[in-house]
Structure 1
């Protein structure tokens, strides 16, 4: 009789323990789902703001490219330095417009009903493309120092060779240096991080990735 009572007590204890574990697991699952929804909303908010920024950038970029095209057309290639410089700036601006459109398409393709990993992969592509575009756009700097050149100015000699040309050369060196050093692996350097995170493009992407990363970390802990 005592053995039977002990067995019943043991089975009762095991059932209560199993019920408690089940309730605990259900509670963790509910907490994880609520946390994931909050983090996803935070990430979506950052990306939504970035998408709106990109739309305005595209509109302004198109107007800017058309304006530069009118300047080149109006010059009639009378001043080749002006035309080449402005045309180069227009091409870089057109590249930026295309990049903004592509980034907006990636943002709109993110479905938070998919797995977090799938969203992270798209954000990683967005981050890589943002890094590359920022690096490329720095290469247009020297052309902002040459659009006002003219054959007459160069022929004057001293002012061009002692002031204007060294400044342009300095900007060329700086542009190439930035292009070579603004990389993901250099983000631990304060000056690289300050430049790359100055605009909303990379800043919002990185924050969105961090929100989704916290979901994965909590899921692994659970």
Structure 2
């Protein structure tokens, strides 16, 4: 076998290996996209349920509060009214994010490039963190909605100390969580205690799958 034949044989072998690699890469991408699509699909029921319950809760709350503001504001318990208004406002903000997440999940397509899916997953991750930050800001108002004006005249020091202790503690916790709920803390125990179940784990599994594909591509490219 002469040198020309050897070069030709080498070129044919090299072309077949490259073709095989391209086919394998495409199959890997397709399988990963299908897995990610199915995993994200498992998040739809809980998102829809939460959104429907939240809309019902906020709808009833807004109707009730509007009636109080319009018809009996002067007689209403200001502490309850303002606490409930803050709670409803924060819940409404969270619902808008839930709606955005649901739309994003439905937009994920198994035919999209992996880069596009990664962008959607990052968006879902960040919005999930923001939903929890916003909802934890409600903690203080759950300790003040039952306050009333008679507390100012009838309560003793001990009662005020206990009440303010809980309100200040819940305020501190809500602010601390708002600041510290970020992806960098995902491996900490308190973070894993909060973020679990079908609103977080499927998202992390999807991101891990796409990261594995990217690592595989880099290894084969460098090789």
TM-score, normalised to structure 2's length? Answer: 0.85
2:96 to 95, 98, 101: 98
Report the counterpart of residue 17 of structure 1 in structure 2.
10
Question: Matched residues in 1 for 2:64 and 2:163: separation?
Answer: 22
Task: Call closer, same or farther: CA 1:74–1:153 in 2, change over 3 Å.
Answer: farther
Say if 2:45 is the partner of 1:52: yes
- Give CA deviations for 1:55-75 in whole Å, capped at 9, x if unaligned: 221111111112223443565
Q: Distance in 1 between matches of 2:92 and 2:132?
A: 14
1:47–1:13: structure 2 CA closer, same or farther, 3 Å change rule?
Answer: same
Aligned-partner Cα distance in 2 for 1:194–1:123: 21
Residue 167 of structure 1 is matched in structure 2 by: 166
Given the alignment, which residue of 31, 39, 43 partners 1:38?
31
Does the aligned pair in 2 maintain the 1:145–1:168 contact within 8 Å?
Answer: yes
SS at match of 1:42: helix
Q: Which residue of 2 aligns with 1:83?
A: 81
Q: Which runs of 5+ in 1 are unaligned?
A: 1-5
Return the alpha-carbon distance in structure 1 between the equivalents of residues 14 and 175 of structure 2.
60
Are the aligned partners of 2:54 and 2:95 in contact in 1 as well (CA < 8 Å)?
A: yes
Structure with max Cα Rg: 1
Q: Distance in 1 between matches of 2:190 and 2:176?
A: 13
**Greater share of residues in helix:** 1
Q: Which segment is superposed worse, 93-102 or 31-40?
A: 31-40
Maintained 8 Å contact 2:94/2:134:
no
**Ranges in structure 2 where 5+ consecutive residues have no aligned partner:** none
Structure 2 Cα separation of the partners of residues 33 and 20 of structure 1: 20
**What is the aligned length?**
214
Partners of 1:147 and 1:70 lie apart in 2 by: 18
